[in-house]
Amino acid sequence: MATPSIDKHALDSFHAHLSQSKRVLALLGAGLSASSGLPTFRGAGGLWRSHDSISLATPEAFAADPSLVWHFYNYRRHMALQAQPNPAHYALAELARKLPGFQCLSQNVDGLSQRAEHPPDQLQLLHGTLFELKCASRRCDYHETNFTDPVVPALAIPTGGVDPTSNEARREAAAAQDKGQDLDISDVKVPIPSISTKDLPQCPKCNAHLLRPGVVWFGESLPASVLKNVDDFIDADAGIDLIIVIGTSAKVYPAAGYIDEAREKGARVCVVNMDTNDAPASGWAEGDWLFQGDAATVVPELLKPVIGEIKAKV
């Protein structure tokens, strides 16, 4: 991914501000994990097997077709498990260790920040995680941590023998997309079968409902404990010095609203994004920074005065 060079003057002024900052927020989005190979939601990459990813992320979609929705989430779990954290995940984890007044508000459910050993009490998972399963019934409180891939045998990715993470599959999908076809790499060769409800993940506690991914779907509330942690940080008398907005289109609320809340508490705003059109919803203000480029390159550079050099992990 080509990254434009970072403006030296802006970088110096950001470094000067960061070095004096005691209370810092970061708002993370799918662009943080893009260079780890995970697709974003909006724009290119937001399609899975011709389905708009967002249309599958609702309780209504799960109720209507749990097999389809589970295929989608099983595939995302598989891709996330294949991916590795990139230097930006490690840089943010290191900033958290160096700066106790740093909180990351992540919209990502891919588990990469956790695998980069981001301190858990400085990582607020606004939208949950792919690796937590919970009972689909609101009346049952069962939940579990689960990294099994596929999540149940019936959900094994139907590839007809083609590994969807292989170069062959990637080439085939890219060629189809060049021809204007909506083909995701998981589409290669074989259509997805409809799985009977009894073969989907079952709640072992109530024995009456399916398990579902422990992510926040459109129309659902954010986890109460996470909301409290975020509100406590934002409402503290000490104010906020800086919010770094990384790889998010900042279109989904309440997450996107935290940019303005931080601003109201005194924070200067720094945006890291490949696309310079993805501005904060309320627009730019005097003193904001915009660093265009791949988060995996830009974020370690931005944080260098506090965290030093981040070594690539293999």
| Contacting positions for ligand APR (CB under 6 A) | 1, 29-31, 34-35, 40-42, 54, 57, 107, 127, 247-249, 251-252, 272-275, 278, 294-295
140 is in an annotated binding site: yes
**Catalytic-residue membership of 127:** yes
Beta strand spans in the chain (E): 24-28, 47-48, 51-52, 102-106, 123-125, 128-135, 143-145, 211-215, 242-246, 268-273, 289-292
104 is in an annotated binding site: no
The secondary structure element, H or E, covering residue 232 is: helix 224-235
Q: Using CA atoms, how far apart are residues 153 and 85, in angstroms rounded to an integer?
A: 27
From residue 187, alpha-carbon distances to 54, 76, 115, 254 in Å are 18, 13, 28, 33
Amino acid at 65: D
Q: How far is the CB of 101 from ligand APR (least distance, A)?
A: 24
Q: How far is the CB of 294 from ligand APR (least distance, A)?
A: 4
Which of 203, 259 has the CB closer to ligand APR?
Answer: 259
Q: How far is the CB of 100 from ligand APR (least distance, A)?
A: 26
First-to-last alpha carbon distance for the chain, in angstroms, is: 19
270 is in an annotated binding site: no
**Torsional sign, CA 187, 109, 97, 5:** positive
Q: How far is the CB of 106 from ligand APR (least distance, A)?
A: 8
State how far Cα 289 lies from the chain centre. 22
* Selection from 207, 36, 72, 209 nearest residue 151 by Cα: 72
What is 111-172 written as a DSSP string?
SHHHHTT--GGGEEETTEEEEEEEESSTT---EEE---SSSSGGGS---TT--TTSHHHHHH
Q: Using CA atoms, how far apart are residues 22 and 162, in angstroms rounded to an integer?
A: 50
Which of 210, 215 has the CB closer to ligand APR?
Answer: 215
Measured from each CB, the residue nearest to ligand APR is 31
Which of 67, 107 has the CB closer to ligand APR?
Answer: 107
Among 89, 127, 143, 209, the active-site one is: 127
Q: How far is the CB of 299 from ligand APR (least distance, A)?
A: 9
Which of 94, 294 has the CB closer to ligand APR?
Answer: 294
Which of 97, 251 has the CB closer to ligand APR?
Answer: 251
Kindly list the catalytic residues.
Answer: 127
Binding site membership: which residues? 135, 140, 203, 206
